[in-house]
Amino acid sequence: MQRTRRDQNSLFAAAPLPVARLDDAERLACLRLIRSDNVGPVTFRDLINHFGGAQAALDALPELAQRGGNRRKIRIATQAEAERELTRARKAGARPVFTIEPGYPPALAAIDAPPPMLYVKGDLSILTRPAVAIVGSRQASAAGHKLTRQFATGIGQAGYVIVSGLARGIDAAAHETAIETGTVAVVAGGVDIIYPPENTALHAAITEKGAIVSELPPGFEPRGKDFPRRNRLISGIALGVLVIEAARRSGTLTTARHANEQGRIVFAVPGHPLDPRAEGTNSLLKSGAILATTAEDVTSVLAPLSGMSPEAAFREMADATTYAAPPPLPPPLLGNDDRTRVLAALGPAPIDIDALARATSLDSRALNIVLMELDLAGRIIRHGGGLISRNGDWEAG
């Protein structure tokens, strides 16, 4: 019997994704689906859940987009485009891993709208081990470096993988310390793009004994906006996030914010009140983060979570290699009543899916199908936390 990933906490929780070992053809179809117009993480999940596989979902995209009101033919990524991307990945020494196959980080799979695919360079198996993220200032003090090495050593020896962002300062110190016990670097560009350049040797060492991870394709040069996006993956892969030195307006604090949103445990190391590099961590402590001065402060809190394997904690896997036939799409209703009702209930302000279901009196299956259609047509916007709004740009266009 095919098993599935566990769903999230909501009356209208996302249906769990099927998990199966993919062959080359299925992997190619998944990549084509992800690279097609208007297929984001939520729509990818919903399409896979409904059709049971990527190829069947690809075949249905034109009809779904048309039913959602798409005014133009939806662009579907070609097989040649997907093959070129996978060829570049192989040349870079990276491989893709999808949410619907074993090997995807189990903790990350449990967040709201996880990336449908990651590129991994290095040891794929390290991603299934329990992990702790250590992040902090790029302009770290000598004391910050020393504390990072102490924490990374103790947490690593306790059996945890250390996750960070391969940046200067605290990130680099955490990775360097955890090379032998296990470390994962989540980068903002492609896994083959080394940034900053002075971390070239560290990048190579992590590739040799750990893993470099990105949601972007090999060869992609990181932009400013890609670093905050990367931070949500750092926290998502981990059970907890430890912050060592962070200014009040530090990008590090976005990782802590993502961790809170994802239900992760946030730890912070206190600092001197006059040190600007301690303003962010001290603020986190005032907001409810757990004070940490030793590695044991972290591992003792996480022990109940890591006592069982990440596989048992976050997902169940199957050895199945095929999907059951998907149920047929319901025929379009006369007058597109369901779609009209959903669009009428939506406005520019994001609304959660439970409230939308109550406002439209649609059951979960009917509502999910309508949202798939409207999303593929570009008529709605998906926000974090399961929030949805109407796309005013589409109406204006």
Query: Do the strands 211-214 and 117-122 form a parallel or antiparallel pair, or are they unpaired?
Result: antiparallel
Same CATH fold assignment for domains 124-314 and 335-396: no
Half-sphere exposure of 206 (CA within 13 A, CB side): 33
Average pLDDT along the chain, 397 residues, taken 10 residues at a time: 36 52 90 95 90 91 89 91 96 94 92 94 95 95 95 96 97 97 97 95 97 96 91 96 92 93 95 91 95 96 70 37 45 60 88 88 86 89 85 64
Angle CA 163–165–171, to nearest 5: 80
Cα(183)–Cα(34) distance, integer angstroms: 28
Which one-letter amino acid corresponds to residue 63?
Answer: E
Q: What's 124-314's CATH class?
A: alpha beta
Query: Crossing angle for the helix pair 364-376 and 54-67, nearest 10 degrees?
Result: 80
Query: Do the strands 95-98 and 117-122 form a parallel or antiparallel pair, or are they unpaired?
Result: antiparallel
Supply the pLDDT for residue 322.
37
| Neighbouring residues of 274: CB distance < 8 A, sequence distance ≥ 6 | none
Query: Crossing angle for the helix pair 353-360 and 364-376, nearest 10 degrees?
Result: 110
Q: Kind and range of the H or E element at 200? A: helix 200-209
Supply the pLDDT for residue 318.
33
Half-sphere exposure of 181 (CA within 13 A, CB side): 22
Out of 3.40.109.10, 3.40.50.970, 2.90.10.10, 1.10.10.10, which CATH number does the structure's domain 335-396 have? 1.10.10.10
- Residue ranges covered by each domain of the chain: 124-314, 335-396
- pTM value is 0.82
Supply the pLDDT for residue 302.
94
* Residue in 23, 246, 213 with CA at minimum distance from that of residue 134: 246
Query: Over the Cα atoms of the chain, what is R_g?
Result: 22
* Residue in 123, 179, 130 with CA at minimum distance from that of residue 158: 130
